[in-house]
Amino acid sequence: MFTLIQEEINAAVYDCHQISEILKNGIETVTIKEIRDIKVSTDKSDGSVLCSCMNFARFGFLCRHIFCVLKGNGVEVIPDKYILKRWTRDILPPHIRRKKQMFGFEGGRYMECSTTVYSAVEYCLNLLAKDEEKLVEFVENIKRLKTEVEERNPNAKPLSKIEMFNRVLGVEKPAVNTVNNPEPCSNKGNASGGQRKKSEIEKLREHMKKHKRLCKKCNKYRRHDSRNCPKKPDEIPTYSDSTVNDLGTGTGDDNCEDNDSDQSDPLIPCRTHIPTYFHLHRSIHYVKDADSDICEEIELSDGTFNYKPLVDESEKPKIGSEYPTIDKCIEMYAKYAEKSGFTIRKSTQEKLKSGIPSRKYLLCNKEGLPNGVNKDTMSEETSENRSGSIIRTGCLARAKFKINVTHTAYVLYEFEEAHNHTFVPKAYRNLTKKRKQMTHPEQIFVQQLGITSIGATRAHHLYASTHGGYELVNSTETEYRNHKRDLNTHIGDSDAQMLITKLTNRKTTM
């Protein structure tokens, strides 16, 4: 707004000129010469000004023609009645601005408390910025307070995804839409870029002008590539062993630097081209020096290796320990897994006739075996298959709990500590599935930047840069994009109805 007013004032000084004045019945009419003649009327009794271009009525700020007249009358300050409240900082009172986007919603009280907490913590951090000892003491007090809250609310249920979206948006999604979204219009021209939309014939002609390229799937020169090849997977030719050797993935002498190794095993590839295999009945030995401080390597009699996490004895589960509820059992084993560098998943659960759980098994997330036996990533048949982020290795690490005789607690009666895989290094444990969950401030941050047409990826970069770096932000770009996708899916075609509801709630609250 400041820039627009500045442009109008500059134009009034350099581009506009008064050519005539007429005074009649206390109203002075001035003709301004610009591209065309503009008439500005000034009421001498109250000082009101009206321009024939009607810029103030349309946009809410004075035009260059009025500024030209005010300059000629010696007025140096814009009259207050021509400064609309919507252009000022006090458009909303401070107590309403602190409520952010929560108006008339059940989460309004939560938002008010969270704003108070964030402000208090930020104030204390700024106050103790130069005193490291007191700053560490303050952080320890916050952690102790967090522990007390968790102990007092052991069965607190987290928000569901729908409740979380409603809290982020500040309004609930209606069951029935009474206000529908306007139907999009498909004009012939493109208003944003000024380019005409192309017809199907024009698109086809441009497609025929493309140069032919060699498709890696069908092995023919066509106007497509391997990503959009029309060939079905069962129609793609497979490579024979001789073809694989010719491509440099075999064990030929021309492609290997070390010919002394045993070349009789077909699963031993060339060092320069190593395909990936999943060996189901053998654990892969890849312990590095950097992992020596997180696990203990144990060689078995069959030549395979097991690994035990290096954690304090006080943090290890002990057979015979009792826990009041199943949730406490899961919480204990999850904390142990987080300290060790692996993730867990829930498995078998048995119940009594009364419905009370009697047994519960907790497993390592790499327990079980994948569907395929071997997968060669150099093969055309398997290279396009999408792989998951978890590779199962048949790990047998687990913890089993059962209810005691008096049905008052659960006892750990079996605990397998050794794994057949290494663990996540400490430097990357913030990227585990459990710790990559977005926090509520991050969700609010993505939603607010989305209002200003800033995407999820750029929002992640901004959040990381304002919080000290990417290593201090657990969530990745993928979590931000997935949250944005789920939020848009939740809104669906109810955005117009939700906007009307939100403005109605705001009106009643204000």
Beta strands in 352-503 (DSSP E): 357-364, 398-403, 410-416
Residue 228 in any domain: the answer is: no
Tell me how many domains the chain contains. 4
Are residues 320 and 425 located together in one domain of the fold? Answer: yes
Are residues 427 and 468 located together in one domain of the fold? Answer: no
Phi and psi for 50 in degrees, rounded to 5? -135, 130
Are residues 326 and 377 located together in one domain of the fold? Answer: yes
Residue 59 in any domain: the answer is: yes
Residue 216 in any domain: the answer is: no
The pLDDT, as a whole number, for residue 283 is 38
Are residues 424 and 448 located together in one domain of the fold? Answer: no
The CA-atom distances, in angstroms, between 18 and each of 7, 30, 32 are 19, 7, 5
The pLDDT, as a whole number, for residue 358 is 92
Are residues 367 and 425 located together in one domain of the fold? Answer: yes
Phi and psi for 162 in degrees, rounded to 5? -70, -45
Residue 332 in any domain: the answer is: yes
The pLDDT, as a whole number, for residue 425 is 86
At 169-222, the pLDDT tens digits run 878 888 888 888 887 766 555 555 556 677 778 888 887 777 777 888 788 877
Are residues 78 and 124 located together in one domain of the fold? Answer: no
Residue 473 in any domain: the answer is: yes
Nearest to 307 by CA among 420, 393, 195: 420
Residue 481 in any domain: the answer is: yes
The pLDDT, as a whole number, for residue 243 is 40
Element (DSSP H or E) covering residue 488: helix 477-491
The pLDDT, as a whole number, for residue 385 is 52
Considering 75, 91, 107, which residue would you say is the last residue of a domain?
91
Are residues 418 and 459 located together in one domain of the fold? Answer: no
Considering 37, 58, 91, which residue would you say is the last residue of a domain?
91
Contact 367, 421 (CB under 8 A): no
Distance of alpha carbon 88 from alpha carbon 86, whole angstroms: 6
The pLDDT, as a whole number, for residue 120 is 86
Are residues 328 and 452 located together in one domain of the fold? Answer: no
Are residues 9 and 109 located together in one domain of the fold? Answer: no
The pLDDT, as a whole number, for residue 361 is 95
Are residues 364 and 396 located together in one domain of the fold? Answer: yes
Are residues 316 and 378 located together in one domain of the fold? Answer: yes
Residue 454 in any domain: the answer is: yes
CB neighbour list of residue 472: distance below 8 Å, 6 or more residues apart: 464
The pLDDT, as a whole number, for residue 376 is 53
The pLDDT, as a whole number, for residue 207 is 76
Which residue ranges in the chain fall short of pLDDT 70?
Answer: 90-111, 185-196, 232-292, 370-390, 509-510
Are residues 449 and 343 located together in one domain of the fold? Answer: no
Indicate the pTM of the whole model.
0.51
Number of residues that this document lists for the chain: 510
The pLDDT, as a whole number, for residue 336 is 92
What is the distance, to the nearest Å, from the Cα of residue 145 to the centroid of all Cα atoms in its chain? 28
Residue 482 sits in which domain range?
440-493
Residue 343 in any domain: the answer is: yes
Considering 59, 91, 123, which residue would you say is the last residue of a domain?
91
CB neighbour list of residue 366: distance below 8 Å, 6 or more residues apart: 342, 390, 391, 392, 393, 394, 395, 419, 421
